[in-house]
Amino acid sequence: MSPTSESYLLPSNDKPREACGIVGVYMPNEDVAKTVFFSLFALQHRGQESAGIAVSDGKEISNYAKMGLVSQVFREESLKGLSGFVGIGHTRYSTMGGSKASNAQPLLVNGPRGLLAVGHNGNVINANSLREEISKEWQIEFERSSDTEIIAELYVNTPGIEWFDVSATVMRRLSGAYSLVMMNLNELIAVRDPLGIRPLCLGKLREGWVVASETAALDTIGATIVRELKNGETLVINKNGIKSQIWSGSRPTHAMCVFEHIYFARPDSILNGKLAYETRLKMGAELWKEAPVSADFVTGIPDSSTPHAVGFARESGIPYVETLIKNRYVGRTFIEPDQHVRDDSVKMKFNVLKSVIKGKKLIVVDDSIVRSTTITRVVKLLRNAGAKEIHVRVAAPAIKSTCHFGVDMATLDQLIASNMTIEEITNFIGADSLSYLSISGLMTAVENNNDSYCRGCFTGEYPIPVQLEMDKFSLESK
């Protein structure tokens, strides 16, 4: 897919990009395709490049995956062609392998363990070496350029009496982040990596079961939330019920990506037992305690930073007001913009309430800053609309390092906080002042226990050793 105006019309592309959303459904007496579809619809925010659903009726697996949003890929007629009692679904944003149809998931592979469909959220950091190893070990010719295919081939080829044996062996070989939904003709298998980096939860729906990246997907289809999967846990769901086993080599405390709390997850999802919305309110409150400033109003950049801004306003006693109205119908477009549209792209997404802010001192709360493209344009927009002062407060620490576990966080030379001082960034974005939430403040907000959560993008220290930077296209030429 060639570059489109989407990258210009959506200032949110300056944010970290999640890898994927995954869902698995086992309903012994029902067709599951529509249940999978509506679950995916609730996970659209986690990936907008491609979407897919695979189902099995016990005799064959039908798989339908294409480029585009969930609503673009699936129609009533395409769902009617997906008949079966077990199914998995996937929404993708590429972090390993290019954004192209061949990498759309679920992926379907065949091997000694039969036909297997796989959906993956995360990033395997030893994908290159593993691909070389297993291509020789099992004479496999890889057809795609994503790490998901490597995971799929491992699960379908690794010897073992039960899925738990296979999963234990695979976990010893994989390094990185991987929440998985897999299915064969008759079973649903779900796996969360030994570090627990990417979220995965279990729900009960009538006579069946659902697993998904976020609890919001369970709410959407009326499933009852049972629990979040443990680090290194493998679930197997079939006609005999549900069985679980945790790999003995799993980390005792999770290292879940803290950006799930900050930005990735929907605010109505529960993460590590906490509602994301309430955690974001606490981030805003901690930010005020650390970086108070006099102003007339507190405002946020809709929609992702709204809870943080509300928390900031509540703690400060300064009124929260909306200053930017978001055009929620700006979405994917394949119309190439001219230079004028590119330069004014923020106006395509936001319009300013000029009479509200003219002559006022504003505190603008953002959830994070990566390259600074969005906040720079927003500050300029507010300044041109007559704001007297603009004080930027960021409800996350400064991002100084790249992510290696399933998030497209830009390269080191693109991360503004790794290349400029606070004062330099303040001048660059055109603000009157700038402050970030401290790491200790963030940990207070998420109620950190036992040194959990991966925060490598802030500290450069990761739960497992990583190389300095990774190339998402490293498998393209192999």
Contact criterion met (CB below 8 Å) for 16 and 368: yes
Q: Are 112 and 18 in the same domain?
A: yes
Domain-embedded: residue 461: no
Contact criterion met (CB below 8 Å) for 12 and 62: no
Q: Does 20 participate in catalysis according to the annotation? A: yes
Strand pairing class (389-394; 361-366): parallel
Q: What is the DSSP string of 96-109?
A: SS-SSGGG-SSEEE
Q: Are 230 and 358 in the same domain?
A: no
Domains held by the chain: number:
2
C-alpha span between 394 and 366 (Å, rounded) = 5
Q: Are 246 and 296 in the same domain?
A: no
Strand pairing class (361-366; 297-300): parallel
Q: Which of 9-13, 56-60, 82-86 has the lowest mean pLDDT?
A: 9-13
What is the dihedral angle through the alpha carbons of 154, 159, 161, 162, rounded to the nearest 10 degrees?
-10
Q: How many CB atoms lie within 10 A of CB 101?
A: 11
Please say if the pLDDT value at position 5 is more than 50. Answer: no
Domain-embedded: residue 459: no
Domain-embedded: residue 474: no
Domain-embedded: residue 262: no
- pLDDT tens digit string along 263-274? 999 999 999 999
What is the dihedral angle through the alpha carbons of 464, 469, 471, 472, rounded to the nearest 10 degrees?
60
Please say if the pLDDT value at position 450 is more than 90. Answer: no
Domain-embedded: residue 476: no
SS3 255: coil
Using the structure block, give the residue that is written with the tokens 């600074």.
372
Please say if the pLDDT value at position 316 is more than 70. Answer: yes
Q: Are 239 and 350 in the same domain?
A: no
Q: Which of 20, 257, 454, 457 is catalytic?
A: 20
Contact criterion met (CB below 8 Å) for 370 and 413: no
Can you tell me the mean pLDDT for 437-453?
88
Domain-embedded: residue 214: yes
Residue 448's pLDDT band (boundaries 50, 70, 90)? confident
Which of 277, 332, 324, 282 lies closest to 44, judged by CA? Answer: 332
Residue 10's pLDDT band (boundaries 50, 70, 90)? very low
Supply angle C-alpha 323, 306, 322, rounded to 5.
Answer: 15
Q: Are 220 and 286 in the same domain?
A: no
Q: Are 35 and 158 in the same domain?
A: yes
- pLDDT tens digit string along 136-163? 999 998 987 789 999 999 999 999 999 9
Using the structure block, give the residue that is written with the tokens 């309110």.
281
CATH number of the CATH domain containing 18: 3.60.20.10
Structural domain for 357, as ranges:
275-448
Percentage of the chain surpassing pLDDT 90?
74
Residue 260's pLDDT band (boundaries 50, 70, 90)? very high
Which of 181, 153, 211 lies closest to 35, judged by CA? Answer: 211
Please say if the pLDDT value at position 96 is more than 60. Answer: no
CATH number of the CATH domain containing 350: 3.40.50.2020
- pLDDT tens digit string along 101-132? 777 899 999 999 999 999 999 999 999 999 99
Domain-embedded: residue 106: yes
What does DSSP assign to residue 87?
Answer: E
Tokens of 224: 């009852």
Q: Are 325 and 212 in the same domain?
A: no
Q: What is the DSSP string of 373-414?
A: HHHHHHHHHHHHTT-SEEEEEESS----S---SSEE---GGG
Supply angle C-alpha 32, 33, 36, rounded to 5.
Answer: 85
Q: Quick one: pLDDT at residue 99?
A: 52
Q: Quick one: pLDDT at residue 331?
A: 52
Q: Are 184 and 248 in the same domain?
A: yes
- pLDDT tens digit string along 18-38? 668 999 999 999 999 999 999
pTM of this prediction exceeds 0.95:
no
- pLDDT tens digit string along 186-221? 999 999 999 999 999 999 999 999 999 999 999 999
Cis peptide before 106 (omega within 30 of 0): yes
Q: Are 251 and 334 in the same domain?
A: no
Q: Are 311 and 442 in the same domain?
A: yes
Q: What are phi and psi of 78, to 5 degrees?
A: -70, -35
Q: Are 289 and 251 in the same domain?
A: no
Per-chain mean pLDDT for the chain: 89
Domain-embedded: residue 180: yes
Contact criterion met (CB below 8 Å) for 87 and 53: yes
Tokens of 150: 């490597």
Q: Quick one: pLDDT at residue 326?
A: 85
Q: Are 105 and 192 in the same domain?
A: yes
C-alpha span between 434 and 373 (Å, rounded) = 15
